[in-house]
Homo-oligomer: A and B are copies of this chain.
Amino acid sequence: MLSQTAARPAPAPLAPDLPAAVFSMRFARDEEIYGEGEEAEYVYKVISGAVRTCAFDAEGRRQIEGFYLPGDLFGLECGAAHRFAAEALCDTEVAIMPRAALDRAALDDGAAARALWSLASEALRQTREHLLVLGKKGAAERVVGFLLQMAQRCRGGVVRLPMSRTDIADYLGLTIETVSRTFSKLERDGAIALEGARQVALNLGRLNAFAA
């Protein structure tokens, strides 16, 4: 998926101890960065914008694996292929590095290999948090779990949501109607304040009461 957009050099490294990214690219809203099952040729880091990774099951239902915000790394696989597709949530710029360069670095640089371990562990930690949220039975608990995750990453009481209700629903295993209703209910209960559909002010104290 390295097509329409012009590639520019990107000096910054993806992470400490890892080689510098080779170039950067821009993607338009909803544009595919790489596809499900595609060869894992590159590793990516969000410079600006936001990204979702997702997979489709037999019935065509979509599961979103994660959201990636500026500074976040994604697309780092150990296997040969991407298990999830990656798509831009909005106009997005990403730094890109060939996977081969990482493999090479891991081979002759212990620090790089440890950095890759650390990155994989961090991804694991995040996925496990997601798992805990999906394990919850109530819709409110899941939505609150999602909001708290976002708040933690944005470090702020006011959270901008770059994703649609549909994206949130597919992240939480709910329907958009349930997500929307739950937002409304949380607002009625004073746990959040909606400042438009894509921005939420959190009342952390009261929110934790719903965290179940």
Contacts and interface: CB of A to CB of B under 8 A. Distances in A.
Interface of A: 55, 57-59, 61, 63, 65, 77-79, 83-84, 106-110, 113-114, 116-118, 120-125, 127-128, 130-132, 134-137, 170, 173, 211-212
Each complex incorporates copies of this chain amounting to 2
12 contacts: A57-B211, A59-B212, A63-B135, A78-B122, A78-B124, A79-B125, A83-B125, A106-B114, A106-B117, A109-B110, A113-B114, A127-B127
A131 B135 CA distance: 9
Contact of A63 (B78, B114, B132): B132
A124 B134 contact: no
A42 to B, nearest CB: 16
Contacts of A57: 132, 136, 211-212
Given A79-B121, A107-B110, 14 more contacts: A61-B135, A61-B137, A78-B117, A78-B118, A84-B128, A106-B113, A106-B114, A109-B110, A116-B117, A117-B117, A120-B120, A124-B124, A127-B131, A131-B131
Given A63-B135, A135-B173, A212-B58, A124 B130 contact: no
Contacts of A120: 117, 120-121, 124
A106 to B, nearest CB: 5
Contacts of A84: 128
Nearest to A57: B212
Contacts of A118: 78
A136 B174 CA distance: 9
